[in-house]
Amino acid sequence: MTTKGDIFGKHQKGSFFMFNCRINNNPIEEKQKMTTEQLLEYSNKYIMETYRRLPVLWREGAGVYLFDNNGKKYLDLLGGLAVCALGHSHPKLAAAIGAQAKRLMHTSNLYHTEAQVLYAKSLVESSFADKVFFCNSGAEANEAAIKLARKYGNTVLGGKNEIITMYQSFHGRTLATITATGQEKFQKGFEPLPSGFTYARFDDIASVKACLSNKTCAIMIEPIQAEGGVIVPSPNYLQALRELCDKCGILLIFDEVQTGMGRTGTLFAYEGYGIKPDILTLAKGLGGGFPVGAMLASQKASVFGIGEHASTFGGNPLAMTAAAVTLETIKEENLLQNCREVGTFLSKELAKLKGKFPLIQEVRGKGLLLGIELKIEAATLVQKCFERRVIIGTAGTKVLRLAPPLIISLEEAKAGLAALTDALQETEESIL
């Protein structure tokens, strides 16, 4: 089956990349082809039910679009949960991964690879950091940050090992990271939880100070609470945290798994606040869709010794190639500026929708990470947009989340807004 047509994505200086979008199955796929219904039945039968999935099966992606098993086209305003920074199947990224796969896919970290060394250099030179540790996901990156902070507290600070995190935060799904996460719904049923974490109110420096003790070694925070509802702190809050950490001699950890790699309009969100953390975690958009995570640290905080932390697949040549091309493309195609421009446009238009639809309680966010708080369950609007072939997500029960690829054009953003407007209109009419 072939879907004809070319998908164009707008990039640096008005230039265009052509995404050839054809859904072609090879002979093996044709021989084994099943209907969507059969595949969904198998999914329900064989895959653990840890996600509430919409009844769609994606076959192909190109630019800001996804195509289902029947060839229907959807505008993706969620980007794989802020992962597909360059859109789907970006030509440069796909070509680089393919070429690297033919050359070398994996070798143990007992040895060096050019791809890992050169990408580490690029990432450090693009950030505040002096050292980097590579892993495979955001949860792994945060797990590494927690271990590094405790190692620092125990060895440098003389036995301090508690970390302050924030209520409504989200840091991952491992035992340590769900404990760092300040939301009970992620922790329930997994007790006993590891000790050593206390929780402060986000955007409340007095609450953080009240949590300080003679055991505190670090403060861990998302610059914007994404999963918690796309909550943006007041302008001086993060600066106040930096000053507090300096005063107490403790570490400041930024979880930029979702805000990093251009999502807020700067390569890293901390750049927009005029401060630097001691430790930073990255994943999601880091590899443009390929699984990769990283923990960055200043020289002061880099206290891991040989054998104290590891990741079998961390920093493998495929991941490093994908991450290097992603970083290079973000810079070369001026996607940070595009993020700011389209993000500003979306923010202004969403604010207009707030004035038009009483269902909308608040619009917030930065760059291309935007939240729309509703007075009803957000899942209703997700479904109605899905029916209009536009993909959006949620951040909590009543917040819609938009995190489209950084390549999204104004025209594509307008198309998404039109669908959302229509969905809001239908929803309000049904309520009234």
Residues with a known catalytic role: 170, 255, 284
Short-list 79, 70, 87, CA closest to 23: 70
Write the single-letter amino acid at 151: K
How far is Cα 227 from Cα 67, in angstroms, rounded to an integer? 26
Joined tokens for residue 40: 């969904």
Alpha carbon 397 to its chain centroid, in Å, reads: 19
Angstrom distances, CA of residue 71 to CA of 23, 38, 215, 283, 349: 7, 17, 57, 30, 31
Short-list 380, 396, 348, 85, CA closest to 226: 396
* Cβ–Cβ < 8 Å for 216, 159: no
Burial bucket for residue 172 (CB in 10 Å: 0-12, 13-18, 19+): buried
How far is Cα 110 from Cα 140, in angstroms, rounded to an integer? 19
How far is Cα 199 from Cα 203, in angstroms, rounded to an integer? 12
Joined tokens for residue 289: 């869709």
C-alpha gyration radius of the chain: 22
How far is Cα 328 from Cα 293, in angstroms, rounded to an integer? 17
Sign of the CA dihedral with 370 first, then 372, 377, and 378 last: negative
Q: Where are the alpha helices (DSSP H) in 181-315?
A: 184-187, 205-211, 237-248
Q: Where are the alpha helices (DSSP H) in 333-377?
A: 335-356
Q: Which helix (H) or strand (E) segment is 365 a member of?
A: strand 360-366
Enumerate the β-bridge partners of residue 219. 164, 252
* Cβ–Cβ < 8 Å for 294, 133: yes
